[in-house]
Amino acid sequence: MDTRPPNAASESDDPQPVTTDAPFLSIAFSAKELCTRCGSCSGVCPTDAITLTEDFYPSLIPDRCIACGLCGAVCPGKTVSYGDLAEQVFDERFVDRGFDGWVEKTYVGFSTDERLRRGGAGGGVVTGLLAHLLQSGAVDGCLVSRMKKDRPWEGEPFIATTYEELCESQGSRYHIIPMNTLWADLRKKPGRYAAAILPCQTHGFRNLQRHDPELAAQITHVVGLFCGGSLEPCLPTEMLTMRGIQRDQITDFQFRGGDWPGQMRAILKDGQARPLHYSNYKDGAYNYFTSLYMPERCQTCLDGSNEFADLSVSDAWTRDEQGEYKFKEHSRILIRTERGAALVREAAEAGALVVKDVTEDPSYRTHKMQTRRKGSLAPLRVARWKQAGRRVPEYDRTAPDDVTLKERITERCSSMLLRAGKWKPFRMAVMGFLTSRYAIPLIKLRLYLKKRKYAKRRAR
């Protein structure tokens, strides 16, 4: 199939110099603020003409570019058509089915492999599913991420082909990692692969299926990760600096290390685990970092539940009437396609996972904070920025009609904080407070408000 744009040069044409404002290139070259930094443009390029900068934006090598147009065709940064994606993945056209999207079944579960369960963020479900695929011979490798061994404050994508390599990918990494750059490796090695990726990366993959189906066919399973917004890659280094830890003193940076639900911490060369903030991932400083370190394109993303994966996985945060978690160290699994359903069914039958069907329980829909951030506030921001003349992604989904005044005020305030977070002295000052003992009263207030909320529910 010819994937070149209409103005692309053929082999018989005289080669023309390509500049970064060429219309067939991915959106990052003309509107950097719309780049998701998913790595799709670099991964799909057949001539390795696109490399990535230190902060993962694409950079063009003009002499290598053949103007094939693939990078622009697969780029998910400028346009996301929910109707087209739904028709492609589910064979039914729709634009909005709520935050969770198309869901066939909902499960909660955990990996039966104790090493995977303890090493994972939510019961090791994602790694357990990938390990089942790998060990059963269904795939030859898995597209996953890890922290670099020589620079453990930086994340990297890699292809795990053994159980031990999969274990290196365990745990959550919440800063930007351009997973789709791994497509370039797939061009050089035959086989079948599974991918554990974020929503924007899934959008890029679905575009790849349309424009380079031969390459896309090598990825047989898409395990989607929920996403509230990635964080800038500078977060780990700035956090280490704030806590007085030299980078050469650590062997690992963990976003959710230790007992569930985990805590941001550094592992020192002497084996000591050094906490980087008070409390845990759920109640500590991390909750506020999304208001300081979230990239501009993430602020305008509407897909938090990975709506077009084969299945989507998130923590099972559901609480009982006393405010206690119903399922600690479990994940919630949203089945979207028959391929996703077959994967979970076969993994459970093989004893790799323990799952419980909670499809009929409404309490297992996505929690309100996540739904508000991506389902209400992000569409509001897109509409407001567009009206102000700012470049925003093109969607066929709009803000809901029942937006409250409180939500409008919240969106304005969060946007102001995110804008202020671009100024390093400001975000470092805020981080210094959030990671210090002076933030303990804020944590206690947060916990008190939670207990009060559940107490009111019990009283009803």
- CA triplet 349, 354, 360: central angle to 5 degrees? 100
Rounded-to-integer distance, Cα 386 and Cα 341, Å? 39
131 falls within a domain: yes
383 falls within a domain: no
Rounded-to-integer distance, Cα 181 and Cα 36, Å? 13
Cα torsion 74, 76, 82, 88 to 10°: value is 20
DSSP characters for 107-118?
EEEEESSHHHHH
The reported pLDDT for the residue numbered 455 is 63
- CA triplet 448, 294, 375: central angle to 5 degrees? 70
197 falls within a domain: yes
The reported pLDDT for the residue numbered 442 is 85
Please name the helix (run of DSSP H) or strand (run of DSSP E) that holds residue 88, with its range, or none: helix 82-90
**Other CB atoms within 10 Å distance of the CB of residue 405:** 7
356 falls within a domain: yes
250 falls within a domain: no
The reported pLDDT for the residue numbered 6 is 41
25 falls within a domain: no
The reported pLDDT for the residue numbered 281 is 83
**Other CB atoms within 10 Å distance of the CB of residue 459:** 6
The tally of domains found in the chain comes to: 1
Cα torsion 183, 189, 194, 199 to 10°: value is 0
- Cα distances from 266 to residues 245, 259, 286, in angstroms, run 9, 14, 14
Sign of CA dihedral 95, 311, 99, 284: negative
222-233 per-residue burial string, b: 16 or more CB within 10 A, e: under 16: bbbbbbbbbbbb
Cα torsion 69, 225, 216, 168 to 10°: value is 110
92 falls within a domain: yes
Q: Phi and psi of 257, rounded to 5°?
A: -90, 160
The reported pLDDT for the residue numbered 10 is 43
The reported pLDDT for the residue numbered 187 is 94
326 falls within a domain: yes
* pLDDT, one tens digit for every residue, the chain (460 residues): 344 444 444 444 555 667 777 889 999 999 999 999 999 999 999 999 999 999 999 999 999 999 999 999 999 999 999 999 999 999 999 999 988 999 999 999 999 999 999 888 888 999 999 999 999 999 999 999 999 999 999 999 999 999 999 999 999 999 999 999 999 999 999 999 999 999 999 999 999 999 999 999 999 999 999 998 899 999 999 999 999 999 999 999 999 998 888 899 999 999 999 999 988 887 877 778 888 999 999 999 999 999 999 999 998 877 766 667 777 788 999 999 999 999 999 999 999 999 999 999 887 776 666 677 787 889 999 999 999 999 999 999 988 777 888 888 989 998 999 899 999 999 999 999 999 999 889 888 877 777 777 666 656 6
Determine the structural domain holding residue 203 and report its residue range: 82-232+296-364
